[in-house]
Structure 1
Amino acid sequence: MLPQEIIRSKRDGHKLSTQEIASFIEGVTAGTVS
């Protein structure tokens, strides 16, 4: 899932799964998501 899709999903009031949150944080800390 692209970072903007995660942000859009959260913005639209959807609940993120634990896996979606973990993947997003992992990408940010690894520098692969900006």
Structure 2
Amino acid sequence: GTLCATQVCYFSDAEIEKMITEIFISLLEKMKRGEM
């Protein structure tokens, strides 16, 4: 998924899933380090 001029772009389910997974993993990493 690339940013468009309007920033309202279509994301495929796979891309959304990948983004959510990456966010979730980074949150877990922060919690492990005690930053949250």
TM-score bracket for this pair, using the shorter chain length: 0.5 to 0.7
Bigger proportion of residues as helix: 1
Return the TM-score normalized by structure 2: 0.52
**Partner residue in 2 for 1:27:** 22
Structure whose alpha-carbon radius of gyration is higher? 2
Unaligned runs of 5+ in 1: none
Q: Point out where structure 2 has 5 or more consecutive residues left out of the alignment.
A: 27-36
Listed one character per residue, the Cα deviations across residues 1-34 of structure 1 (whole Å, up to 9, x for unaligned) are: 7xxx4xx2581x3210000000000000000xxx
Q: How many residues get paired?
A: 25
Greater length-normalized contact order (CA 8 Å, ≥ 6 residues apart): 1
The percentage of counterpart residues that share the same residue type is 16
